Amino acid sequence: MSDAPILSVAGLRKAYGALTVTDDVSFDVRPGELHAIIGPNGAGKTTLIHQLSGSLRSDAGRVSFAGEDITRLDMVERVRRGVARSFQITSVLEGFSVLENAALAVQARSGSSFRFFAPAAREAQLNALAMDALARVQLDDRAQRRAGSLSHGEKRKLEIAIALASGARLLLLDEPLAGAGKEETAVLVELMQDLKQTHTIVLIEHDMEAVFALADQVSVLVYGRMIATGTAASVRSDPDVRAAYLGEEEAA
């Protein structure tokens, strides 16, 4: 764990009018690490994901990925470099097959999409890589189903498969367990355990059990400020964190 960070965030800020949603956030993520970010509702976690993925411009601060300053790059350019995100509210192409959802992500990084005549659905290369991604999340047996007809848990898996198919090295996962039942949660946690072997992950999650099982590093975000960062154990015992966040959880 002495490698240079693959993701480095320094002094990131974002305000909506008078409301500062991201307040001087800095942290590093080393290659292969799973860095969890926890915090109460409205802490600014999703906003932070927007800023890291490039869908939202930051007011100040710097984001570097693999040694390159990507602060000024938009989402499309960041995906090209290997940063992919999932959405808190499931966002898949409901009208397309499961396979095509993943195949489109492969297509995005496999040559030009200004090809007008050959049928895309029959491109073996795209489909093969898409199937690899689906197999990784155990959705390969659902490949021909319409994505809109999947169960909630399956859609959460498909979101992850799409991110994998996009060729990402860094996954930004925004509450992948949101709305998942007990069994689905267990499957997804196991899946993320597996993803840790190959990918660097920033994980936003409310499920503390999952976070403490998975995370190498945990940061706590409260009102846009990172009040603590460290190993799961050290964060858990941090008095500020207990006061600001975990206490609430236990009381709830």
Partner 1 sequence: MSAASQVSPAATPGVAEHRQGGMLAGRGAAMAAAVIFLLLALLPLAATALNDPFLMVTATRIMIFALAALSLDLVLGYGAMVSFGHAAFIGIGAYAVAILSANGVGDILVQAIAAVAASALFALVTGAISLRTRGVYFIMITLAFGQMAYFFMVSLSAYGGDDGITLPARSTLFGAPLLDDDMALFYAVLAVLILAFAGLRAVVASRFGRVLRGTRDNAQRMQAIGFSPFRYQLTAYVMAGAIAGIAGVFLANQAEFVSPAYMTWQRSGELIVMVVLGGMGTLVGAIAGAIAFLLVEDWLAIFSEHWKLGLGILLVLLVLFTRGGIVGGVERLTGRSQP
Q: Does residue 43 bind ligand ATP (CB under 6 A)?
A: yes
Mention every residue, 6+ apart, whose C-beta is less than 8 A from residue 36: 202, 203, 204, 205, 211, 214, 215, 217, 218, 219, 232
Region of 248 (left: φ > 0; alpha: ψ -120 to 50; beta: rest) is alpha
> Which partner, ligand ATP, partner 1, Mg ion, none, binds residue 91 by CB below 5 to 8 Å per kind?
partner 1
Strands of 225-230's sheet in order across? 83-85, 170-174, 200-204, 34-38, 217-222, 225-230
| Candidate segments 37-45, 77-85, 124-132, 225-233, binder of ligand ATP by CB under 6 A | 37-45
Pairing of strands 170-174, 68-69: unpaired
Q: Does residue 176 bind ligand ATP (CB under 6 A)?
A: no
58-117 residues near ligand ATP, rule: CB under 6 A: 88
Q: Does residue 46 bind Mg ion (CB under 5 A)?
A: yes
Q: Does residue 206 bind partner 1 (CB under 8 A)?
A: no
Taking the complex as a whole, the smallest distance from the CB of residue 38 to ligand ATP amounts, in Å, to 9
Q: Does residue 39 bind ligand ATP (CB under 6 A)?
A: yes
Helix/strand/coil for 52: helix
Q: Does residue 93 bind partner 1 (CB under 8 A)?
A: yes
User: How far is residue 29 from each of residues 67, 90, 95, 111, measured CA to CA in Å?
Assistant: 12, 25, 36, 30
| Candidate segments 24-32, 113-121, 185-193, 210-218, binder of partner 1 by CB under 8 A | 113-121
Contact 10, 20 (CB under 8 A): no
Toward partner 1, which CB reaches closer, 70 or 244?
70
Q: How many CA atoms lie within 13 A of 8 on its CB side?
A: 11
Q: Does residue 20 bind Mg ion (CB under 5 A)?
A: no
| Candidate segments 32-40, 59-67, 120-128, 220-228, binder of partner 1 by CB under 8 A | 120-128
DSSP 244: I
Q: Which of 4, 55, 59, 60 binds partner 1 (CB under 8 A)?
A: 55
Contact 65, 154 (CB under 8 A): no
Q: Does residue 90 bind Mg ion (CB under 5 A)?
A: no
Q: Does residue 94 bind partner 1 (CB under 8 A)?
A: yes
| CA distance linking residue 228 with residue 50, whole number of Å | 21
Mention every residue, 6+ apart, whose C-beta is less than 8 A from residue 24: 11, 12, 13, 61, 225
> Which partner, Mg ion, ligand ATP, partner 1, none, binds residue 44 by CB below 5 to 8 Å per kind?
ligand ATP
Interface contacts to Mg ion, rule CB under 5 A: 45-46, 88
Interface contacts to ligand ATP, rule CB under 6 A: 16, 19, 21, 39, 41-47, 88
Interface contacts to partner 1, rule CB under 8 A: 46-47, 50, 53, 55-56, 75-76, 79-80, 84-85, 87-89, 91-96, 100, 104-105, 107-109, 112-121, 123, 146, 149, 162, 165-166
